[in-house]
Every structure is written in C-alpha cells, then in structure tokens.
Amino acid sequence: MSLTAKQECFVKEYLIDLNATQAAIRAGYSEKTAGQIGDENLKKPQISEAIQKAMDARAQRTEITADYVLNGIKSIIERCTTPHVYIDEDGVERTKQNFEPSHALKGFELLGKHLKLFTDKTEITGKDGAPISIEDATVRASRVAALIAQANARKDEAEPTAE
C-alpha cells in the first residue's frame, strides 16, 4: 500500500525536527487535529517504514551514524579530560590540563542516556520484556476483586451481628 501525497509530505516534514505535530501542520493537516494525526501517522506501519527508510538514507548520505556520534562524544570527553603537552617559548616541554568539567559531564550524560544507564521514564513490561496484555491485566483484576469479595464475606461471617 503506497502513501498518499499528504502522508509523503508528512514523512519529509517529520525528518526536519522529528516533531509529529509540527510535521502534520506543515504537511497540510488541520492545526486542531495535528497532534492526533501526527501520533496516528507514526503508528501506521507504512508511514513508520517510510520514515525509517528516509532516516537510513540520510544517515548514509551524510555518513552520520550512531557510531559517528558516539565516537565524537568520546573524543570530546577525552579532549576535555586529557592533559595537553606543548613546548613553551623557551623550548621546554610543558603540560597543561585542559579540563572542562561542563563539557566532559555533558558528554558523559549523552553517553549514559544512550546506554540507558539512567532513564527519564520508567518502562513497564510484562513477562520477559513483552508488552503487558490487557487481557492478563483484566484477568488479574478479576482475581483480585474475587479475593477481596471472599475476604469481605469472611469478615462479615466472623463479626457478631447486633440484634
């Protein structure tokens, strides 16, 4: 199934800033529904495949890959934390520490996020990392409700009645 002209435009616009709402607006969707349309478009398999293909093509064209970015961050961290050896005006070899803590910390922060060492959100999954099944949750909720009902019934039986 091919994309409509508007969907193709959405894909191109999404690549600009990875903002689905703004991409939808720029692609000609209504501003009122752009957030919803953008979200729906990202969930459509043919659109998400087109976005991934376009991103892959861009990465190949620019030669900017995850490895390139990570190596760049690593290089900056090393430059910010490694002493710099130079020869002064008298011909004497000197060492200067070029430590830039804010630059190094930003690099470590970006690497840590990439490696998911710290997360800004918590992912909740089912067994073995699988998605949580709504059916499983419903069954468990029913079991809990039944146990609560049983406990309440026992409690009512155990309490003496005031007659």
With pLDDT > 70 as the criterion, what percentage of the chain qualifies?
91
* Amino acid (one-letter) located at 11: V
Count how many residues are written for the chain: 163
137-153 pLDDT, tens per residue? 778 888 888 888 888 88
- Selection from 70, 75, 144 nearest residue 113 by Cα: 70
Task: State the burial class of residue 4 (Cβ atoms within 10 Å of its Cβ: 0-12, 13-18, 19+).
Answer: exposed
Q: What is the mean pLDDT of the chain?
A: 84
Q: Alpha-carbon dihedral of residues 118, 122, 126, 129, nearest 10 degrees?
A: -30
What Å distances lie between residue 129 and 109, 125, 133, CA to CA? Answer: 26, 5, 12
pTM: 0.51
- Cα distances from 155 to residues 90, 93, 149, 159, in angstroms, run 92, 85, 10, 6
84 bridge partner residues: 96
Answer yes or no: is pLDDT of 99 > 80: no
Dist CA 83 CA 72 (whole Å): 18
Q: Are 10 and 39 in contact (CB under 8 A)?
A: no
Q: Give Cα 42 distance to the centre of its chain.
A: 14
Q: What is the pLDDT, as a whole number, of residue 162?
A: 57
Residue 15 in contact with residue 9, Cβ under 8 Å? no
**pLDDT 10s digits, 10-59:** 999 999 989 999 999 999 999 999 999 999 999 999 999 999 999 989 88
